[in-house]
Structure 1
Amino acid sequence: MQSIPWDGSQITTPGIYRGIPLADYHRPHLCVEVSVSSSMFRNIIAKSPKHAFDKSQLNPAHSSDDEQNESLSLGRFLHSAVAGEPFEHDCVLRPATVGGVAYQGNRKEWRDWKAAQIAAGKFIMSPEMVENAKGMIISLGSFPLVQQGMLNGAPERSLIWRDPRGFWKKARPDQMPNDSGDFVDLKTTRSVLYRDTQRSIIDYGYHQQGAMVLEGARALGMPANSFTLLWVESKPPYCVRAQTLKDEDLARGHALNELAAKMFLDCYRSGVWPGPGDDRPDAEYVDLPDWYRKSVDDRIKFELREAA
């Protein structure tokens, strides 16, 4: 399926689009009806509709400054580098001084400079972050699957399709496979140890993200066979690991997305975005975790001096 160059106007036709700046991609009114990406669904599931709304551009009080941190900037730089874009495409190097003032994040000169960069769609990179990024790129380049072409698909493509319930969905895989249907998403992380990547998948809802990508591909008539996370550590020794999500876990991600979609629509139509306990008329019981209960019971039973 051929990609469609975006002309800057609201999208009315489902398809694979190229040339949509990241800031525009995240706008809820990119399409003629409200549009959502997996980040909305993931935030609803991970926390609550109220938390998701707070982070969304649907919130009139939303600040773009909240969207940028060191991890996000480093990830964005890495994605641009893999896509073959020049550094200046959407990143900017933090200078040594602004207005004659050395870096101090709380100074007005630096706050104004940061706000101007974000307004221009730039991700800020410190010299230290650039050095780490170099190490990450070198490690990725020596990883066997990358050498075999794992990241050779078309980058920066946006899948846009309409949900029959009256809103649009969008997904932006790092690499659009040519015909294999095997999607890859590059992730920066602190650790590629198995237990740590498991935790990251749960914490950040990557099984939901993968399910959304495959749903979009199928909706647009593309092959959709697998979703692989390509991890690279953001600090030395910059280890790399590739992990493909299992179909049963992607199915769980899809089911969670469907649950989130229902909650999103209810909230969007009503204008009410409840928090975890906002709509409860009475106090609720809270249970101590079973593992802690057992620890307490064992400590009392055996008169232990310290927790088991």
Structure 2
Amino acid sequence: MQSIPWDHKQVSTPNCYADIPSWDYHDHPNLCVEPSISSSFLRDIILKSAKHAFQRSRFNPAYAADAEQSEAMALGRFLHSAVAGEPFEHDCVLRPATVGGVAYQGNRKEWRDWKAAQIAAGKYILTPEMVERAKGMILALGEFPLVRQGILNGAPERSLIWRDPRGFWKKARPDQIPNDSGDYIDLKTARGVTYRETQSAIINYGLCQQGAMVLEGARALGLSASSFTLLWVESTAPYCVRAQTLKDEDLARGHALNELACKIFWECYQTKHWPGPGDDREDAEFVDLPDWWRKSVDDRVKFELREAA
């Protein structure tokens, strides 16, 4: 698999790029010579609305980087860096015991200023307790059979960037680009990895769209692309690990949703109008409640149940 180092200039040639920092990939307002979108932007359109996607993007003139960092974000970033073989200091920082002689108090000005400086520098903040949990996750990954067989031995953190014929650019950033297969791997931290939990996460976070975007980018750049596998690891003990490959038919659904989102994006970008849910209606609409809820109510009334079915 060939990639070229990013020269810190606007991308004007479709390629697989190495060494694009995470901040530049996600938040650089002019990474490409024309507007560019990633899977997360398209998923925002589908899962929320065009207005939500716009609000959280660089297309919004009033965009402000999120000053908050969730624990899941920081743990995930550290885990990805560790798997990629990057030093801890690359984009993470350990929360010190004191700042300016003041022990940790999140509401103190010294600590607020310190936190803001770290985030502005593109750093993810970890506590000692989070680092210990991350070590447990890494050890669990190291014991997982597929990891021992080399599932994570590809090229990490490469950026696939290609041009859509409509006039904008697309980006995808798989965790691992395979060396000798067409199976792309994405590492996910999770609270739980039971079948029901992973099913819900795939749906709720639009992961079929993400997988479809990765495979589209690989194929657009002439790379082998046959499958997309999610490698889950629990973020708390016992740090269970699970690998699940998305089915082709569901990736096709993800691709169809991406195409719909691209159509919506391009229309919104050209008209400078980013509607929210229901903005295209001038009157109230009927809402359909799910069949499972209707049935539970009907059964409860029919059989006079004291508790919901």
- TM-score surpassing 0.5? yes
Matches within 5 A, 1:188-267: 188-267=189-268
CA contact (8 A) 1:184 1:228 kept: yes
Q: Which runs of 5+ in 1 are unaligned?
A: none
CA contact (8 A) 1:55 1:62 kept: yes
Instruction: Please say which of residues 58-67 and 18-27 is displaced more in the overlay.
Output: 58-67
Q: Give the aligned residue type for 2:21.
A: P
Counting aligned pairs with the same residue, the percent is 78
Matches within 5 A, 1:1-308: 1-26=1-26, 27-66=28-67, 68-308=69-309
Q: Which runs of 5+ in 2 are unaligned?
A: none
Q: Give the aligned residue type for 2:32.
A: C
C-alpha separation in 1, matches of 2:286 and 2:304: 28
- Measured on the aligned residues, the alpha-carbon RMSD in Å equals 1.3
Secondary structure at the aligned position of 2:280 is classed as coil
CA contact (8 A) 1:38 1:212 kept: yes
| Cα distance change of structure 1 residues 163 and 66 upon mapping to structure 2, 3 Å threshold | farther
Instruction: Please say which of residues 169-178 and 54-63 is displaced more in the overlay.
Output: 54-63
Q: Give the aligned residue type for 2:20.
A: I
The structure 1 segments of at least 4 consecutive aligned residues displaced by more than 4 Å after TM superposition are none
CA contact (8 A) 2:67 2:116 kept: no
Secondary structure at the aligned position of 1:306 is classed as coil
CA contact (8 A) 1:161 1:168 kept: yes
CA contact (8 A) 2:152 2:185 kept: yes
* CA shift digits 1:22-66 (9 cap, x unpaired): 100012421000011100011111111111112212223322235
For normalisation by structure 1, the TM-score amounts to 0.97
CA contact (8 A) 1:92 1:123 kept: yes
* CA shift digits 1:161-208 (9 cap, x unpaired): 000010000101111111311111110000110110000001111111
CA contact (8 A) 2:92 2:126 kept: yes
C-alpha separation in 1, matches of 2:29 and 2:251: 25
Matched length: 308
Secondary structure at the aligned position of 1:65 is classed as coil
C-alpha separation in 1, matches of 2:122 and 2:172: 19
Secondary structure at the aligned position of 1:223 is classed as coil
C-alpha separation in 2, matches of 1:242 and 1:66: 33
